[in-house]
Amino acid sequence: MSNFTVSARKYRPGTFDTVIGQNHVTQTLKNAIKKGHIGHSFLFCGPRGVGKTTCARILAKALNCENLTADGEPCGICNACISFQNHQSFNIYELDAASNNSVDDIRSLNEQVRFAPQSGKYKIYIIDEVHMLSTSAFNAFLKTLEEPPPYAIFILATTEKHKILPTILSRCQVFDFHRIGIKETIEHLKDICRQEGIQAEEEGLYVIARKADGALRDALSIFDKVASFSEEIITYRDVIDNLNVLDYEYYFKCLDNALERDLTGLLLLFDEILVKGFDANNFLNGLSDHLRNLLLSLDATTVRLMELSEGTQNLYLQQSARTSVSYLVSALNILNSFDVQFKASKNQRLHVELALMKLCFLNDVLNIGEWEESGEKKKPEPKPGLKSERVDAGYSGSSSIIPSSTVSLQTQPVQPAPKRENVPQSASVVSDSGFSFDLKKIKENVINAQKAAASAKVEEEFFESVDSETFEKAWPAYLDHVFKRKLVALHTAIKNISPQFDTGKVVLRVSNPVVKNMLLEEKQAMVDFMVAKYGLKPFVLEIPVEQMPEQESAKYTDREKMEYLMEKSPAFKEMVERLDLKIDW
């Protein structure tokens, strides 16, 4: 059996020009070599598999090359180049700092630096994963790195620049390597396919490049694996089967079902995905990425950010024409919320299904608040499959299968304010009360109602008399709601207040201005709660301050409490005087 060389080694660049995606580094190094402006220490930083060690080796070979080209490239045919390529060079040393990170290892290196090269101009030390050196090793290396002999050059490489001591960074020329772009990776893979005589579909190469996440070495490793599986023809289907990647067609079908309000088809499709062995959380993330691509497709200037093949881009353009910005942004918000809560969920399948249910009926929620000029709500045509009784303006139903962690279908709209100009539809918003309201329209209605309350004339025309019986029943529930929101001070201040009613208005009599200010801040949240939970119409709330008699007023400070006790209890006052207690206020 012949020896097989993996593509990452077989096609490893031997010159600066063949390095992929790091032109800003290679051009700088070539210019420095041509001009003879060579620093004594370099630090190459960047993600794994992007060419840091490769560039370090090319630089080391070029520095000792006997016949440099006009562009500053190593010739590859001189004795120095050949000895390096055969791993026989005595002037180039590679040290793996991950396994040689002690002080003794660095001291040994410092001893080697003292001896000049027997042949060639430079002794070059390549230290890979330099961030793994211990603090003591770094300190032992500092003096040598700052003032090395003129023939010594250090090239350090790391994936974690933030772990390098500032004293090391200040002594090096730092080069930051970038992730390799998807298009550059695909072109490199195509070139390898031509050299190896392999046919490959561009969609399959795109999946490989996407899976590599900017690391060319990872892309070549994946390519070898898929090439072995597919023999001489790499197809898109072979790639996704071999890499266990979910076909993007599933995401298109999921959104099609959601836009058509076909909950049955959507749940069955999700079940099919689980049966095939795909992780539910990965599916959520993939669906979020799909929605992100649809959002980018809505504007021609952002289409290029998708980094997809032309055929796939056309599919996104077609589906994006059926969506809106408000739908996509709200859907992304829902999926992000469910993704954050996924690990904490005990029933993760149901958790994802709830997210899909929200997407399925999201358009219904976004359409709440759209009133025709006649004041009646447009109702969508029913669709086949599972049905959910939705609640919207002008509709009296109250049940919904959609939970209210992000959007709420249980919120009944308030009575519309006097006719005003149309307000454009927007994305969901959340009120301060903790209840979710997905339409800016609803919030604007309440704000307009609040403004109307400032005018007595408008109040008479707009607000109806409050249902005192229903309000009295709802008041204890509201107090519990305040307590659950951990508004302890407010709950303590109002728990003993009994609502009163005056000509259809709600009157809450308080004992001091502090409590009144707290209630004024909570006023809108109270109205939202009563409207959403008990179906009350927007009402006028009055908060008069009635000072209690001084001796019965609440005592807040330590001084007030002490004086009150001494006044009420002569025995306590006598004890304080007899013991000559001095109270530090």
Q: Which range, of 121-130, 350-359, 504-513, averages the lowest pLDDT?
A: 504-513
Calpha distance 216→179 (Å, rounded): 8
SS (H, E, C) 166-201: HHHHCCCEEEECCCCCHHHHHHHHHHHHHHHCCEEC
**137 neighbors 167 (Cβ within 8 angstroms):** no
pLDDT given for residue 567 in this prediction? 82
Calpha distance 248→72 (Å, rounded): 45
Mean pLDDT, residues 144-151 = 89
pLDDT given for residue 2 in this prediction? 59
pLDDT, tens only, 544-576 = 877 655 445 555 567 777 787 888 788 888 888
Q: Select the highest-mean-pLDDT range: 32-36, 385-389, 440-444.
A: 32-36
Calpha distance 184→191 (Å, rounded): 11
pLDDT given for residue 510 in this prediction? 81
Residue 372 has pLDDT above 90, yes or no: no
pLDDT classification of 402: cutoffs 50, 70, 90? very low
pLDDT classification of 485: cutoffs 50, 70, 90? confident
Calpha distance 303→295 (Å, rounded): 9
Domain extents for the chain?
7-176, 182-243, 248-360, 463-542, 555-585
pLDDT, tens only, 36-69 = 888 899 999 999 999 999 999 999 999 988 888 8
pLDDT classification of 331: cutoffs 50, 70, 90? very high
If we measure between CA atoms, which residue out of 199, 176, 174 comes closest to residue 189?
199
Task: Specify the amino acid at residue 220.
Answer: L
Query: Any residues with CB less than 8 A from the CB of 41 and at least 6 apart, and which?
Result: 145, 148, 153, 154, 155, 156, 171, 172, 173
| Phi, then psi, of 487 in degrees rounded to 5 | -90, 70
pLDDT classification of 19: cutoffs 50, 70, 90? very high
Query: Any residues with CB less than 8 A from the CB of 58 and at least 6 apart, and which?
Result: 13, 14, 15, 16, 19, 74
Kindly report the CA angle at 311 between 237 and 223, in degrees rounded to 5? 40
Kindly report the CA angle at 251 between 245 and 256, in degrees rounded to 5? 160
User: Domain 7-176 carries which CATH code?
Assistant: 3.40.50.300
Q: Select the highest-mean-pLDDT range: 86-90, 173-177, 239-243, 339-343.
A: 173-177
pTM of the shown model:
0.59
Residue 388 has pLDDT above 50, yes or no: no
Report the percent of the chain where pLDDT is more than 90. 26
- Would strands 500-502 and 505-507 be described as parallel, antiparallel, or unpaired? antiparallel
| Phi, then psi, of 500 in degrees rounded to 5 | -125, 165
Calpha distance 345→350 (Å, rounded): 9
Q: Which range, of 27-36, 68-77, 498-507, averages the lowest pLDDT?
A: 498-507
pLDDT given for residue 146 in this prediction? 86
Residue 154 has pLDDT above 70, yes or no: yes
**Protein fold of 248-360:** Zinc Finger, Delta Prime; domain 3 (1.20.272)
Calpha distance 289→287 (Å, rounded): 5
pLDDT classification of 578: cutoffs 50, 70, 90? confident
pLDDT, tens only, 217-229 = 999 999 998 888 8
pLDDT given for residue 555 in this prediction? 59
pLDDT, tens only, 240-258 = 888 888 888 899 999 999 9
Sheet with strand 92-96: strands edge to edge: 92-96, 123-128, 152-158, 41-45, 173-176
E strands, 172-301, where? Answer: 173-176, 199-200, 233-234
Q: Which helix (H) or strand (E) segment is 43 a member of?
A: strand 41-45
Residue 379 has pLDDT above 70, yes or no: no
Q: Which range, of 238-252, 324-338, 376-390, averages the lowest pLDDT?
A: 376-390
Better pLDDT: 358 or 546: 358
pLDDT, tens only, 100-132 = 888 998 999 988 898 888 777 899 999 999 999
pLDDT given for residue 465 in this prediction? 64
Q: Which position has the token pair 């707290």?
A: 518
Nearest-Å Rg of the Cα atoms of the chain is 36
**216 neighbors 185 (Cβ within 8 angstroms):** yes
Query: Any residues with CB less than 8 A from the CB of 85 and at least 6 apart, and which?
Result: 14, 61, 76
Q: Distance from CA of residue 298 to its chain's centroid? A: 21
Mean pLDDT, residues 59-82 = 88
Calpha distance 253→249 (Å, rounded): 6
pLDDT given for residue 466 in this prediction? 67
pLDDT given for residue 23 in this prediction? 92
pLDDT given for residue 408 in this prediction? 37
Kindly report the CA angle at 43 between 39 and 44, in degrees rounded to 5? 120
**128 neighbors 48 (Cβ within 8 angstroms):** no
**258 neighbors 335 (Cβ within 8 angstroms):** no
Report the percent of the chain where pLDDT is more than 70. 80
pLDDT given for residue 426 in this prediction? 43
Better pLDDT: 580 or 199: 199
Q: Which range, of 20-24, 184-188, 465-469, averages the lowest pLDDT?
A: 465-469
| Phi, then psi, of 465 in degrees rounded to 5 | -65, 135
pLDDT given for residue 290 in this prediction? 92
Considering the four listed CATH numbers 2.30.42.10, 2.60.120.330, 1.10.8.60, 1.10.286.10, the one that applies to the domain covering 182-243 is 1.10.8.60
pLDDT, averaged across the chain = 79
pLDDT, tens only, 250-305 = 999 999 999 999 999 999 999 999 998 888 998 999 999 999 999 998 888 888 78
Task: Specify the amino acid at residue 260.
Answer: E
